[in-house]
Amino acid sequence: MMAMHAKSSIGGGTTLLALVLAFGWAPTPVRAATMAVGMRTLFENTPGQLVEFLVTSAAGDQTAGLNFNIQIGDGQTGPQITAVDLLGPSTLFGANNTGLGGTGSFQSAGYGGLWESTTTTNPGGLLVPDGVLAVVTVDTTGFFEADGPFDLVLSNTLNGPTDFGVAPPSAPNTTLTVTDGQIALAIPEPTSGLVLGLLAGVGLAARRSVRRQARRR
């Protein structure tokens, strides 16, 4: 049998447009949400610092799941990632998820700056990818201002990219375009500690004054 080929010329024959109209073929719409990581400034030599990652949707964007991969520097010799929250009440998947999956920390393999977390929506559920995608906890203990900046990578980590995975047939094919950023380290301002000390002192003095007045009565 001879193979039949559609002609793309306008002058005659079967055009691609005619085939699309005749058989209902159409390319799957590809939409693109975006995330710009930017420069993040954290305190040097300090654990438990939270970093939010925001995603912005375009018209028609929807997602049914998330593969969240994040890497600091080379994943080995920089600040450590100690937690990733995809399901908190402020996050995109917080109210519609099937739980948390993924490897988590790669610390046991020597990559404390590399993390993978995954989740999906409940069956049939779709989300507009706009808002807080994740909250990441970073530990900069042992690293100081002169050591930075460190690359903050989500687009192509050693474990792969952060993306919305393969959409099910019922979901639009929404991609995620990530612009990576950096982490800079800064010295905590001494005035912040001074202010906290002064406030504590004022509170203590006030409590003592109340007790003295109570005894006089």
Q: Could you give the 3-state DSSP secondary structure of residue 131?
A: strand
Amino acid in the structure at residue 119: T
Q: What is the per-residue pLDDT for 174?
A: 85
CB 92 within 8 A of CB 129: yes
Which tokens sit at 114? 């590399």
First to last CA, the chain: 110
This prediction has a pTM of 0.74
Going residue by residue through the chain (217 aa), what tens digit of pLDDT does each one get?
Answer: 434 333 333 344 445 444 334 444 444 556 789 999 999 999 999 999 999 999 999 888 999 999 999 999 999 999 999 999 999 999 999 999 999 999 999 999 999 999 999 999 998 889 999 999 999 999 999 999 999 999 999 999 999 999 997 656 666 678 999 999 999 999 988 755 444 455 555 554 544 554 555 455 5
Strand partners of residue 41: 184
Domains and CATH numbers, the chain: 28-211 (2.60.40.680)
Closest CA to 162 of 103, 118, 126, 96: 118
Helices (H), the chain: 16-23, 190-216
Interatomic CA distance for residues 212 and 215, integer angstroms: 5
